[in-house]
Structure 1
């Protein structure tokens, strides 16, 4: 689904104002990564991200629209986004972009609930045992939920917008346990000594699926196993 953002000139309040149309929210974050880390310094210094739907650019340094046609900036997004120039301030015209029904900014180091897109009452849940050094299974539940911290795993990058290709670590916010998976079954767990502690950010959103319902004393619990698999479901979102 397309995603929109405003872009304004940082040096005045009337010129070079745009609506940006991205092919998806992921494309918006990936474009920002490209322009904010480019070695073409005039672009990395010109364009600023106020939030996911609001950017500024200093057109005296570089116009953000030129990022799509300037080598080593963001030419890979030429057919994934476009800019629409708005009327200047004197004409009073302004297109109002739609706000997403659900939106959470994917900022490294923040804590999130993780839920199903198609069944938004289903959340990831980790009932901790009394032994915090043991492995604890992660489930999907409609009555309980657990907050997880999601961070880039390769460096101190708190505040960085995460994109699908990034390596991440997923930890609990209350105790020092990291997300992992059991090798032979793919069941998701948290552990103090994880065998697999790094995932792609895209894995979190698309490579987990719901397993069998859990039982105790022959009674069905409101929990289903969370399974990591190559054939996962693109149905998870941060909340």
Structure 2
């Protein structure tokens, strides 16, 4: 589904204002990664205020040119476009209003999140910390557990995560990390973190059989190549 953002000139309120249309929210984050890590003036010339608001200093970098300038983000030419907004007279043209989002969480490395099903958003990842001899992670409709999700490379705190990033998923309260029993695909917590990719977190897990933990009905969480869609909350 398409994702939108505004970008304005850093030093005035009337020129070079655009509505950016991305093919998806993932494309928006990947475009920003390409821009912010490019060895060009675009790295300093474009700033991300938040997921739907950017600024650019056109003396250093004009954001639409990121799609056609070698070494910046030319791979997104067919996935991103810029619509020029009101430039000359602030009262002469209406501003295109971005549709409100039903749900949005910024994917910032090092932050803590709940993880829930995208199709049935009342199903959450849950780790019952008492009487859980197997250290298994479950899916529950009445309980939920917060996990810290971080890129594995050093100095990555605060960076927006994209699908190809290697990540660790750990409890916020104990030094335990999400891992996978390879033979059966069961999701467990262990002291050794498993390097998953961010895209795997969002697409390579599924719900298994029902179990009863502490008298509560939960479902096993399994790792699967053809998993369900999950989102951070």
Shorter-chain TM-score: which interval?
A: over 0.9
Residues 89-132 of structure 1: per-residue CA shift (max 9 Å, x gap): 6233311111210000000000000001111110000001368x
Deviation at 1:155, TM superposition (A): 1.4
Q: Aligned partners of 2:88, 2:142: CA distance in 1, in Å?
A: 50
The Cα RMSD (Å) is 1.6
Match of 1:189 in 2: 188
SS in 2 for 1:29: helix
Range with bigger deviation, 163-172 or 181-190: 181-190
Mark the runs of 5 or more structure 1 residues left unpaired by the alignment.
Answer: none
Match of 2:211 in 1: 214
Deviation at 1:135, TM superposition (A): 5.0
Q: Aligned partners of 2:213, 2:126: CA distance in 1, in Å?
A: 17
Residues 61-82 of structure 1: per-residue CA shift (max 9 Å, x gap): 1101000000110000000010
Q: Aligned partners of 1:215, 1:178: CA distance in 2, in Å?
A: 23
Match of 2:19 in 1: 19
Match of 2:143 in 1: 144
Query: Are 1:8 and 2:5 counterparts?
Result: no
Mark the runs of 5 or more structure 2 residues left unpaired by the alignment.
Answer: none
Which of 196, 201, 215 is the aligned partner of 1:199? 196
Please say if residues 14 and 90 of structure 2, whose CA atoms lie closer than 8 Å, have aligned partners that are also in contact: no
Match of 2:113 in 1: 112
Q: Aligned partners of 2:192, 2:213: CA distance in 1, in Å?
A: 27
Match of 1:53 in 2: 52
Residues 125-170 of structure 1: per-residue CA shift (max 9 Å, x gap): 0001368xx7510000000000000000121211100000000000
Match of 2:127 in 1: 126
Distance 1:216 1:152, change over 3 A: closer
Please say if residues 142 and 223 of structure 1, whose CA atoms lie closer than 8 Å, have aligned partners that are also in contact: yes
Query: Are 1:238 and 2:232 counterparts?
Result: yes
Distance 1:223 1:79, change over 3 A: same
Distance 1:154 1:216, change over 3 A: closer
So what's the TM-score if we normalise by structure 1?
0.93
User: Number of residue pairs matched?
Assistant: 231
So what's the TM-score if we normalise by structure 2?
0.95
